[in-house]
Amino acid sequence: MTREEKTMKSEKIYEGKVINLRVDTVELPDRKYSKREIVEHSGAVGILAITNDDKLIFVKQFRKTIEDELLEIPAGRIETDEIPDTTAARELEEETGFKSNKLKKLTAVLSSPGFSNEVIHIYLAEDLQEGTAQPDEDEYIEVIYLTLEEALDKILKGEIRDSKTTLAVLFYKALVLG
């Protein structure tokens, strides 16, 4: 038995700068129809950057979606014609000022496959050179440095809630440091 859903109709609802929204009518394996609301996204990167004295770099910013400030790893959207490696280097420098001489992709995950095709590529950035941050004009960012232990403690206490950030820190601890 196939679980594939055949698209019978696809309707564009909204085309935006960050996302597009479409509603697909699908035929299920039992021939019944259903609707799927799908957020199309061009993908993003998140960068876990480690300073030369072993601090992890986070950015604090207000997230309108949840009306609260979040502590996250530097991150951003992959722009048209950009490859994720380029986005990672660009976003790290824009948001924190740091350039990395050792940027490595750790993994790529689906952030919310129930309703979006967004892929987040997670990078590890080491061997850093400090420079000047140049956030986008609508970004208000505070750079925060934490030790790995402090970051793990914040995950445990629910003070770090962003999924890519939790994933990156735990991935680093479990699979990079071992």
For the chain, how far is it from start to end, CA to CA, in angstroms? 40
Which of 146, 157, 144, 151 minimizes the C-alpha distance to 170?
A: 151
155: three-class secondary structure by DSSP: helix
Which of 89, 65, 64, 67 minimizes the C-alpha distance to 76?
A: 89
- Rank residues 38 and 93 by Cβ distance to Mg ion and give the closer one: 93
- Rank residues 76 and 84 by Cβ distance to Mg ion and give the closer one: 76
Q: Which two tokens stand for residue 87?
A: 């986005």
How near is the Cβ of 71 to Mg ion at its closest, in Å? Answer: 13
Q: Which of 137, 142, 150, 159 is catalytic?
A: 137
How near is the Cβ of 45 to Mg ion at its closest, in Å? Answer: 9
How many angstroms separate the CA atoms of 129 and 55, rounded? 14
φ, ψ at 68 (rounded to 5°): -155, 165
Minimal CB distance to Mg ion: which residue? 76
- Residues forming contacts to Mg ion in the complex (CB under 5 A) are 75-76
How near is the Cβ of 116 to Mg ion at its closest, in Å? Answer: 17
Long-range contacts, stretch 146-149, CB < 8 angstroms, 24+ apart: 146/55, 146/56, 146/58, 147/54, 147/55, 147/56, 148/54, 148/56, 148/172, 148/173, 148/177
Annotation marks residue 137 as catalytic? yes
How near is the Cβ of 23 to Mg ion at its closest, in Å? Answer: 28
- Rank residues 63 and 105 by Cβ distance to Mg ion and give the closer one: 63
- Rank residues 38 and 75 by Cβ distance to Mg ion and give the closer one: 75
- Give the catalytic positions in this structure: 137
